Amino acid sequence: MFESKLNKDNSDWKNSFLFQKWEKKFLNSGCKISDINCLGSSTYGGSLKTLFLSVKFVTPENHFMERSILIRNESVVIIPFRFLGNQPRFLCVMQRRITDGNISIEFPAGAVDDFKSPREAAVLELYEETGLKLKQKKLISLKENLRLSESLVDEIVHWYGCDIAMCDNKNDYMDELKIGKKKYGNMGEGEHIKIEFITLEKLKKIKSFHMRIALSFINNELSISCDDK
């Protein structure tokens, strides 16, 4: 559920792992908070997922500033791939998104819940959204601790690759038509996901920041050429 205009007398959010992690990082910069208000929050399954704060603070240069920030847990994105001959195929998830209500084609992704490591979260999200079973040690680290935004959102994103040939249940993903008929996702959180193998050519036609970043990692870290032939 989403809670807006949170009662200012309710300071439970100040005791949350989410807020305290951000506060510690912010104060380490030398900035001093003079006032802070919670404008809203979102929770799923009784767990705080997002905070929207208005913050007044003084910088080390003695400048007074007032800014808003959206505080979220860190997140992970996983790029699952395999080869048919020498042609790469990428396993993507398809689900409706709140931004425009349309079906979005993305790679498996999700939040790093409190006290979990990014790798723990990555293998869990991979399984929940695609059914793939991969051991943490077989994740391919593409880029960790990548800041999503410098101005409004504090989210840190960790990117990983997944060679499907390394998955415990790799043989279940040989029949591409069969896997397309199954449904995935965390139903308790309202996720309704279908999966599909996508060619590199189709990936390159998807106009999203998410996919542009993914293509960069595919080309540079996974050494799968994205150049036009």
Q: Judging by beta carbons within 10 Å of its beta carbon (0-12, 13-18, 19+), is residue 40 exposed, middle or buried?
A: middle
Domain residue ranges in the chain: 2-72, 75-220
pLDDT (tens digit per residue) in 152-176: 999 999 999 999 999 999 999 988 8
pLDDT of 122 strictly over 60: yes
Enter the tokens of residue 152.
């409004």
Average pLDDT, the chain: 90
pLDDT (tens digit per residue) in 171-217: 999 888 788 777 787 766 777 899 999 999 999 999 999 999 999 99
Q: How far is CA 88 from CA 197, 204, 219, in A?
A: 10, 13, 12
pLDDT (tens digit per residue) in 123-149: 999 999 999 999 999 999 999 899 999
pTM of the predicted model as reported, rounded to 2 decimal places: 0.89
Name the architecture of domain 75-220: Alpha-Beta Complex (3.90)
For residues 62 and 58, give the distance between their C-alpha atoms in angstroms, rounded to a whole number. Answer: 6
Enter the tokens of residue 189.
């959180």
